[in-house]
């Protein structure tokens, strides 16, 4: 038991101590380098995604590399919940409903990792409606706050307007490609200049741009790279603005369709070229002074005509002091225009890329080669010459229609001195014929070449014959360029000079990669022996075959396949023979070893004395005094105020409410019999009238004969009594007949009558009563007096009394 205790304790300690992580995970820099290598390999994103799921320590660096660059917005949009999309498997089609604030959490979390974004509107991968939803419902101003590089390719005005969503303050590199002509591009450029401080800006347009582009881009003073690819873009204002950029190192311009005069206008206000033209005595002045005096001197005219060509050359001389920091230049156009532009550049260019139209004139090509050798030979390190779009299109049409390409010679004899040139890449569709003499002269002019590509895609059909360049012609290049690493040419592998094997100096130790394209070969063994002598250490041999290039010749493709199979064995034999010739022991077989090279920059600490210079300066600060009188009397202002109160007339409807009420007054009806028989005096009076005679009623004006009554009418007997007595009797009688109200109604009539002048006939006529056997019914409606307190419309009905 005591012997086993220590082992048990050791086992417990081992179980308690966590295992140490491997060296790969402990060093973050090595981890990132490994993941970058995995990402650059074929199918790298999927492999890196699987590698990230292996361990938690690989999650952060793996996600950082996977989300660092996005080819479109679809991966970012897929972070929204699936129920928001119109189609869950295709997020780019749009959102069916607007996202709420909690739906943005993942988008914002992964959006902070994005540093490079590419958007191509022509791909139709993202619906334009998504940008409107982002602009309206985004929880913060920038959903990609750490975005530094943005590539925006649009075809419509709406697509161009959506650019402002990604113009954050951290943006450094912007590439804007506009296909059609958009009218409001000036507003977009002004918005870009106002919201960003770019170090690299590239603007490509198929249509002409506005003339005020330099003015709109004036705030961009920290540009390190500027590219403007648009037709007829050169102007004097553009040249002045480009020359004012103090940090400009890379410039790319499109000279297509621009004459030499446009190039001269571009440099008119650049550097010292804008001064010295105003006086005739200036060497660069265009004024000959012929008409400056009164007398004409024809001698001066002849001299000015002889020196006209010299002045033209002087005007296009290099401008010293302009584009001081410029190191890389890319030009597109025809060869004469490019030559005119390069003559004005005095900067020590290290990289030059030319896109020219092929075919070109031999004289222009010679001038270009001489200019490059003389003006930039001491600084030029990389030279790339390729064909323009029109030349590529013509070559594509010929290859599609099975037409034979017209081959022209590409002369390299004019390259005289490029001692610092390390990379030369020339790829033209028609000027593809390179001879062995050109390669020999190129080796003399460029002894430091490391990468050489001379029209590696050229095709040589059987009808046109084999290429002029041979493998033994390459021996002159390998003998002079001892640093040559990559070689891409089209050669004739069957033509080999046996004298090449006698020279050991033509064997290159640095040549590792060979690309032979559509080269000819019918004898694979001959070509393999020659290549094993020139490049015994080459490990890569490529050519065009049926899988990756149309227009190949099957015989040559199969021949190079056999060369690739034999070359490694012949290289081992060649190295063994050389070892036997110089060493007593056999060399060890070659082994492939992967060597890691640290690319960490060396950090140096330097002390800088930043003590400012102190300067004492005395300044007299005597105060000047002055006396001034100021009238402080306040200003009196009389103001009349209308204090009349405002009177408003207002009509108020004060009509009292009217109530109609009906009151039925039914007095008690009493029937009484009245004896109306008048007691007569017992006097005998003859009251029978004499109807034979005419009766006349006495009137005031005239006497009217009284008409005789009808026979049916019965008259009350007319009794003559005195007028007063008769009136009293008649009144009493009528009162008994019609009631007491009759007295009141007839008082005035009685008193108005003449009491003593009424005749007996008139009184009898007034009080005439119709006799009837039936009872007389008297009805009369009497209106009662109106009471002010009672409502209007009140009436009292008197029921007639039957007598």
From CA 143, how far away is CA 103, in angstroms rounded?
Answer: 13
Segment 300-323 shows an average pLDDT of 60
From CA 731, how far away is CA 216, in angstroms rounded?
Answer: 126
Q: Is the pLDDT of residue 328 over 90?
A: yes
Residue pair 332/388 in contact by the 8 Å Cβ criterion: yes
From CA 303, how far away is CA 269, in angstroms rounded?
Answer: 28
Residue 503: band (very low, low, confident or very high) from pLDDT cuts 50, 70, 90: confident
Residue pair 253/337 in contact by the 8 Å Cβ criterion: no
Of the given ranges (286-300, 345-359, 775-789), which has the lowest mean pLDDT? 775-789
- Per the model's pLDDT, the better-predicted residue between 801 and 748 turns out to be 748
What is the 3-state secondary structure of 186-214? HHHHHHHHHHCCCCEEEEEECCCCCCCHH
From CA 794, how far away is CA 663, in angstroms rounded?
Answer: 7
Of the given ranges (55-59, 510-514, 690-694, 725-729), which has the lowest mean pLDDT? 690-694
- Per the model's pLDDT, the better-predicted residue between 497 and 765 turns out to be 497
Residue pair 494/521 in contact by the 8 Å Cβ criterion: yes
When the pLDDT of each residue in the chain is averaged and rounded to a whole number, the result is 76
Is residue 320 in some structural domain?
Answer: no
Is residue 483 in some structural domain?
Answer: yes
Question: Own/partner pairs for 544-547, CB < 8 Å, 24+ apart?
Answer: 544/517, 544/518
Is residue 324 in some structural domain?
Answer: no
Coil, strand, or helix at residue 17?
coil
- Per the model's pLDDT, the better-predicted residue between 776 and 485 turns out to be 485
Range of the domain at 480: 392-581
Residue pair 47/41 in contact by the 8 Å Cβ criterion: yes
What is the 3-state secondary structure of 265-293? HHCCCCHHHHCCCCCCCCCCCCCCCCCCC
Q: Which of 551, 581, 611 is the last residue of a domain?
A: 581
The terminus-to-terminus CA distance of the chain in angstroms comes to 160
Residue 211: band (very low, low, confident or very high) from pLDDT cuts 50, 70, 90: confident
Of the given ranges (316-330, 350-364, 433-447, 650-664), which has the lowest mean pLDDT? 650-664
Q: Is the pLDDT of residue 51 over 70?
A: yes
Tens of pLDDT, residue by residue over 675-684, are 656 555 555 5
Q: Is the pLDDT of residue 294 over 70?
A: no
Coil, strand, or helix at residue 304?
helix
Question: How many C-beta atoms lie closer than 10 Å to residue 720's C-beta?
Answer: 12
Residue 225 CB partners (closer than 8 Å, separation 6+): 173, 199, 200, 201, 202, 248, 249, 250, 251, 252, 328
From CA 418, how far away is CA 421, in angstroms rounded?
Answer: 6
Residue 431 CB partners (closer than 8 Å, separation 6+): 358, 359, 360, 408, 409, 410, 455
Specify the pLDDT at position 286: 40
Using a 10 angstrom Cβ sphere, with 0-12 exposed, 13-18 middle and 19 or more buried, the burial of residue 484 is: buried
Is residue 736 in some structural domain?
Answer: yes
Residue 464: band (very low, low, confident or very high) from pLDDT cuts 50, 70, 90: confident
Is residue 525 in some structural domain?
Answer: yes
Give the chain's count of helices (H) and strands (E): 25, 21
Of the given ranges (40-49, 71-80, 179-188, 520-529), which has the lowest mean pLDDT? 179-188
Residue pair 290/301 in contact by the 8 Å Cβ criterion: yes
Specify the pLDDT at position 285: 41
Show the tokens assigned to 538: 């080459």
Q: Where are the beta strands (DSSP E) in 324-381?
A: 328-332, 351-356
Q: At 227, give phi and psi (nearest 5°).
A: -135, 130
**In sequence order, what DSSP letters do the residues of 451-501 get, joined into one string?**
EEEE-TT----TTT-S-S-BHHHHHHHHHH-TT--EEE---BTT---GGGG
Q: At 40, give phi and psi (nearest 5°).
A: -80, -15
From CA 7, how far away is CA 13, in angstroms rounded?
Answer: 10
- Per the model's pLDDT, the better-predicted residue between 530 and 738 turns out to be 530
Specify the pLDDT at position 303: 54
Cα distances (angstroms) measured from residue 186 to each of 189, 209, 283, 464, 513: 5, 9, 41, 52, 48
Coil, strand, or helix at residue 540?
strand
Q: Which helix (H) or strand (E) holds 247?
A: none
- Per the model's pLDDT, the better-predicted residue between 656 and 409 turns out to be 409
Q: At 526, give phi and psi (nearest 5°).
A: -60, -45
Q: At 531, give phi and psi (nearest 5°).
A: -70, -35
Q: Is the pLDDT of residue 713 over 50?
A: no
Beta bridge partners of 319: 345
From CA 256, how far away is CA 206, in angstroms rounded?
Answer: 12
Using a 10 angstrom Cβ sphere, with 0-12 exposed, 13-18 middle and 19 or more buried, the burial of residue 514 is: buried
Show the tokens assigned to 469: 């360049």
Q: Is the pLDDT of residue 332 over 70?
A: yes
From CA 2, how far away is CA 235, in angstroms rounded?
Answer: 96
Question: How many C-beta atoms lie closer than 10 Å to residue 311's C-beta?
Answer: 15
Closest of 1, 64, 61 to residue 26, by C-alpha? 61
Segment 699-717 shows an average pLDDT of 45
Show the tokens assigned to 145: 């706050």
Tens of pLDDT, residue by residue over 546-584, are 766 666 788 888 999 999 999 999 999 988 888 887 754
Is residue 77 in some structural domain?
Answer: no
Tens of pLDDT, residue by residue over 784-793, are 444 444 444 4
Is residue 595 in some structural domain?
Answer: no
Q: Which of 566, 581, 596 is the last residue of a domain?
A: 581
Q: Is the pLDDT of residue 89 over 70?
A: yes
Q: Is the pLDDT of residue 293 over 90?
A: no
- Per the model's pLDDT, the better-predicted residue between 59 and 513 turns out to be 513
- Per the model's pLDDT, the better-predicted residue between 732 and 71 turns out to be 71
Residue pair 467/492 in contact by the 8 Å Cβ criterion: yes
Q: What is the phi-psi region of residue 739: left when phi exceeds 0, alpha when psi lies from -120 to 50, beta otherwise?
A: left
Q: How many domains does the chain have?
A: 2
**Rounded to the nearest 5 degrees, what angle is found at the Cα of 219, between the Cα atoms of 217 and 224?**
80
Q: At 110, give phi and psi (nearest 5°).
A: -80, -20
Tens of pLDDT, residue by residue over 224-235, are 999 999 888 888
Specify the pLDDT at position 768: 46
Specify the pLDDT at position 725: 55
Specify the pLDDT at position 683: 52
pTM for the complete prediction?
0.65
Specify the pLDDT at position 465: 86
DSSP state of 520: B
Q: Is the pLDDT of residue 50 over 70?
A: yes
Q: Which of 550, 581, 612 is the last residue of a domain?
A: 581
Of the given ranges (151-155, 384-388, 404-408, 464-468), which has the lowest mean pLDDT? 404-408
Q: Is the pLDDT of residue 277 over 90?
A: no
Question: How many C-beta atoms lie closer than 10 Å to residue 585's C-beta?
Answer: 7
Of the given ranges (320-329, 620-629, 788-797), which has the lowest mean pLDDT? 788-797
Is residue 112 in some structural domain?
Answer: no
Percent of the chain whose pLDDT exceeds 90:
34
Q: Is the pLDDT of residue 691 over 70?
A: no
Closest of 93, 153, 163, 75 to residue 121, by C-alpha? 153
Q: What is the CATH number of the domain that holds 437?
A: 3.80.10
Segment 787-800 shows an average pLDDT of 41
Q: Is the pLDDT of residue 633 over 50?
A: yes
Closest of 644, 747, 749, 753 to residue 700, by C-alpha? 753
Specify the pLDDT at position 44: 86
Q: Is the pLDDT of residue 420 over 90?
A: yes
Closest of 781, 786, 785 to residue 797, by C-alpha? 781
Coil, strand, or helix at residue 105?
helix
Out of 549-563, 597-611, 697-711, the most confident range is 549-563
From CA 765, how far away is CA 761, in angstroms rounded?
Answer: 6
Widest CA span in the chain: 214
- Per the model's pLDDT, the better-predicted residue between 159 and 645 turns out to be 159
Closest of 384, 257, 270 to residue 329, by C-alpha? 384
Torsion of CA 711, 716, 717, 720, to 10 degrees: -130
Specify the pLDDT at position 728: 67
**Rounded to the nearest 5 degrees, what angle is found at the Cα of 789, between the Cα atoms of 784 and 791?**
70
């Amino acid at each position: 038991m005591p012997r086993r205790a220590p082992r048990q304790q050791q086992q417990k300690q081992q179980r308690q101590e966590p295992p140490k992580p491997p060296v790969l995970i402990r060093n973050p820099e090595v981890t990132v380098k490994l993941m970058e290598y995995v990402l650059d390999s074929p199918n790298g994103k999927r492999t890196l995604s699987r590698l990230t799921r292996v361990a938690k320590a690989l999650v952060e660096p793996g996600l950082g590399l996977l989300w660092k660059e996005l080819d479109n917005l679809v991966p970012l949009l897929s972070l929204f919940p699936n129920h928001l999309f119109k189609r869950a498997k295709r997020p780019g089609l749009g959102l069916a409903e607007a996202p709420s604030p909690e739906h943005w959490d993942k988008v914002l979390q992964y959006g902070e990792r994005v540093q490079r974004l590419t958007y191509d509107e022509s791909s139709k991968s993202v619906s334009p409606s998504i940008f409107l939803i982002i602009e309206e419902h985004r929880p913060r101003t920038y959903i990609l706050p750490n975005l530094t590089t943005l590539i925006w390719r649009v075809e419509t005005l709406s697509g161009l307007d959506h650019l402002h969503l990604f113009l954050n303050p951290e943006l450094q590199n912007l590439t804007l490609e506009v296909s059609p002509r958009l009218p409001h591009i000036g507003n977009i450029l002004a918005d870009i200049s106002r919201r960003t401080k770019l170090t690299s800006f590239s603007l490509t347009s198929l249509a002409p741009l506005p003339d005020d582009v330099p003015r709109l881009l004036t705030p961009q003073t920290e540009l390190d790279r500027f590219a403007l690819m648009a037709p007829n873009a050169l102007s004097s204002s553009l040249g002045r603005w480009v020359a004012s950029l103090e940090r400009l190192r890379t410039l790319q311009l499109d000279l297509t369709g621009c004459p030499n005069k446009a190039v001269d206008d571009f440099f008119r206000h650049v550097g010292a070229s804008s001064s010295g033209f105003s006086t005739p005595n200036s060497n660069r002045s265009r004024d000959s002074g012929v008409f400056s005096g009164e007398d004409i001197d024809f001698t001066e005219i002849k001299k000015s005509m002889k020196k006209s060509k010299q002045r033209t050359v002087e005007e296009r001389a290099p401008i010293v002091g302009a584009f001081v920091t410029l190191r890389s230049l890319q030009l597109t156009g025809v060869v004469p225009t490019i030559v005119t532009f390069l003559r004005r550049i005095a900067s020590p260019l290290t990289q030059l890329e030319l896109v020219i139209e092929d075919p070109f004139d031999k004289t222009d090509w010679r001038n270009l080669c001489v200019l490059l050798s003389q003006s930039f030979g001491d600084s030029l390190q990389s030279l790339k010459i390729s064909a323009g779009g029109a030349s590529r299109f013509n070559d594509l049409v010929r290859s599609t229609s099975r037409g034979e390409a017209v081959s022209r010679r590409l002369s390299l004899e004019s390259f005289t001195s490029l001692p610092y040139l390390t990379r030369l890449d020339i790829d033209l569709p028609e000027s593809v014929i390179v001879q062995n003499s050109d390669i020999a002269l190129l080796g003399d002019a460029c002894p430091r070449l490391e990468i050489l590509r001379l029209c590696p895609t050229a095709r040589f059909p059987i009808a046109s014959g084999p290429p002029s360049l041979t493998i033994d012609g390459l021996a002159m290049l390998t003998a002079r360029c001892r640093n040559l690493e990559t070689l891409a040419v089209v050669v004739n592998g069957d033509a080999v000079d046996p004298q090449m094997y006698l020279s050991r100096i033509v064997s290159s130790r640095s040549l590792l990669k060979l690309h032979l394209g559509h080269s000819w070969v019918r004898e694979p063994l001959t070509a393999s022996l020659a290549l094993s002598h020139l490049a015994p250490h080459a490990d890569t041999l490529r050519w065009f075959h049926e899988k990756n290039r149309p227009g190949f010749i099957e015989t040559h493709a199969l021949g190079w396949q056999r060369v690739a199979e034999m070359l490694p064995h012949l290289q081992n034999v060649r190295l063994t023979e050389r070892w036997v010739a110089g060493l007593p022991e056999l060399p060890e077989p070659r082994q492939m070893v992967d060597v890691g090279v640290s690319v960490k920059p060396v950090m140096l600490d330097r002390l800088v004395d930043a003590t400012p210079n102190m300067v004492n300066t005395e300044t007299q600060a005597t105060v000047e005094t002055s006396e001034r009188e100021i009238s402080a009397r306040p200003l009196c202002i009389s103001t009349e105020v209308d204090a009349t109160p405002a009177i408003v007339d207002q009509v108020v409807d004060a009509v009292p409410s009217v109530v109609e009420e009906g009151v039925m007054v039914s007095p008690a009806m009493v029937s009484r019999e009245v004896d109306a028989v008048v007691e007569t005096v017992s006097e005998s009076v003859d009251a029978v009238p004499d109807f034979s005679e005419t009766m006349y009623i006495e009137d005031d004006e005239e006497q009217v004969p009284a008409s005789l009554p009808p026979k049916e009418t019965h008259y009350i007997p007319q009794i003559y009594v005195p007028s007063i007595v008769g009136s009293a009797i008649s009144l009493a009688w009528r009162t008994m007949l019609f009631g007491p109200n009759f007295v009141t109604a007839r008082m005035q009539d009685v008193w108005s009558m003449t009491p003593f002048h009424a005749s007996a006939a008139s009184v009898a006529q007034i009080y005439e009563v119709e006799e009837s056997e039936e009872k007389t019914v008297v009805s009369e409606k009497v209106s009662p007096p109106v009471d002010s307190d009672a409502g209007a419309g009140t009436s009292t009905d008197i029921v007639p009394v039957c007598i």
